[in-house]
């Protein structure tokens, strides 16, 4: 298999984008990524989207992408796996290039979620859970993650304040991200005083409903060196994909995200690295408890110590391993189909040294972890800059 590099990135602002349609967002981020890569044509397109049919009455996004990008005839594929839809599209493009089937491939993750009512958006997102056993009985994702949080607090002594500190950190990081949906400072007291959604989770523990799109262009590493070295070249060195049970009641321990553990192990093995080799990470903080569980699942700390790690400041920008410098899903926003691709963009910009005010001092090797539903699927991607240490 050929080695693969990311040669271009681009994304829209995340937020309530009333004046832009689903296809507007898809085209905007795609053209930005192609412009960044300095390419005017691609061999294939992969689109990640979870619920365009439910939110926008528009499926067949593969054809939409090729048509509205002026690339009719180019093969295009739409990928769906709940909130990892964008990362799954990236995996498809990676394998397309690595196999030699294509040379230049565009990946775009997109979701337009605010053109429906809040109730309809929640109902649409709930289709990523087990409808027969969870949705039918009225459980939505805040309820599912509240169960995880309560179990984690009981088993490991994780505190309400530790959950709050995840939100505080990610909102502080988002203040430096011009594309973030919520560029505002919050305090622990504000988190704990916000509206209760599902005990112990308040509204400021939850990621928002978001519109947005994010795109990357990938190519063989050798071709990137020859023709597309416009920026520091960023190489894909690890990619792991795994599934877990879709329903919480099927798990032996709901505090453990098995899909994240397995995806992480596979990505680390491919990269020939371990958790201590990672400089920074973008984790799927759909709820504050998710980030805490993912720290543990990826080996950044021992089981049960994700809350303590957060409280000790080890996930801050100047900490042991900075987490969610972009602001994460919590504050950057969570247009579900675009989320995984936007995580990869943050890694690329940090590794290139292009992250502006949020640039880390040490950003050679980065990890992105994307989660589907309450842990039914996960993809972990590891990137490094060419010439970086391994």
Residues with catalytic roles: 83, 334
Q: Which of 330, 323, 326 is nearest to 294 (CA)?
A: 323
Nearest 5 degrees, angle CA 255-CA 256-CA 261?
Answer: 160
Residue 267 · residue 38 · CB < 8 Å? no
DSSP codes joined into one string, 143-200: HHHHHHHHHHHHHH---HHHHHHHHHHHHHHHTT-TT-S------HHHHHHSPEEETT
Please say whether the beta carbons of 382 and 367 come within 8 A.
yes
**Tokens coding 370:** 């994307």
CA separation for the pair 25, 115 (Å, rounded): 13
Q: How far apart are CA 29 and CA 309, in angstroms?
A: 35
Contact 179, 11 (CB under 8 A): yes
Residue 264 host element (H or E): helix 258-271
Cβ atoms of residues 110 and 48 within 8 Å: yes
Take residue 13 and report the two structure tokens written for it. 């602002």
């Amino acid at each position: 298999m050929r080695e693969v590099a990311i040669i271009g990135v681009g994304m829209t602002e995340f937020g309530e984008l009333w004046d832009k349609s689903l296809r507007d967002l898809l085209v905007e981020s795609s053209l930005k990524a192609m412009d960044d890569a300095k390419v005017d044509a691609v061999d294939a397109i992969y689109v990640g989207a979870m619920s365009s049919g439910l939110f926008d009455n528009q499926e067949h996004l593969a054809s939409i992408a090729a048509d509205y990008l002026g690339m009719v005839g180019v093969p295009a594929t739409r990928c769906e796996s709940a909130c990892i839809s964008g990362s799954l599209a990236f995996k498809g493009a990676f394998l397309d290039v690595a196999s030699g089937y294509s040379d230049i491939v565009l990946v775009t993750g997109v979701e337009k979620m605010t053109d429906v009512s809040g109730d309809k958006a929640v109902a649409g997102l709930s289709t990523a859970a087990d409808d027969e056993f969870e949705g039918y009985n009225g459980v939505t994702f805040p309820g599912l993650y509240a169960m995880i949080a309560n179990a984690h607090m009981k088993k490991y002594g994780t505190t309400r304040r530790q959950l709050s500190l995840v939100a505080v950190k990610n909102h502080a990081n988002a203040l430096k991200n011009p594309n973030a949906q919520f560029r505002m400072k919050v305090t622990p007291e504000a988190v704990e005083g916000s509206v209760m959604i599902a005990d112990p989770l308040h509204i400021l523990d939850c990621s928002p409903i978001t519109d947005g799109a994010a795109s990357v262009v990938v190519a063989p590493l050798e071709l990137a060196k020859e023709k597309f070295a416009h920026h520091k070249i960023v190489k894909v060195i690890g990619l792991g994909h795994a599934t877990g049970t879709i329903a919480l009641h099927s798990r032996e321990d709901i505090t453990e995200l098995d899909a994240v553990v397995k995806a992480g192990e596979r990505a680390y093995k491919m990269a020939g690295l371990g958790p201590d080799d990672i400089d920074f990470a973008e984790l799927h903080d759909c709820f504050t408890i998710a980030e805490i569980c993912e720290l543990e699942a990826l080996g950044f700390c021992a089981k049960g110590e994700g809350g303590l790690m957060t409280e000790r400041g080890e996930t801050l920008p100047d900490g042991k391993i900075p987490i969610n410098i972009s602001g994460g899903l919590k504050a950057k926003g969570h247009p579900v189909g675009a989320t995984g691709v936007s995580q990869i963009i943050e890694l690329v910009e940090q590794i290139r040294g292009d992250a502006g005010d949020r640039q880390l001092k040490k950003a050679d090797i980065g990890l992105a972890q994307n989660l589907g539903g309450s842990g039914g699927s996960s993809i972990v991607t590891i990137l490094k800059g060419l010439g970086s240490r391994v």
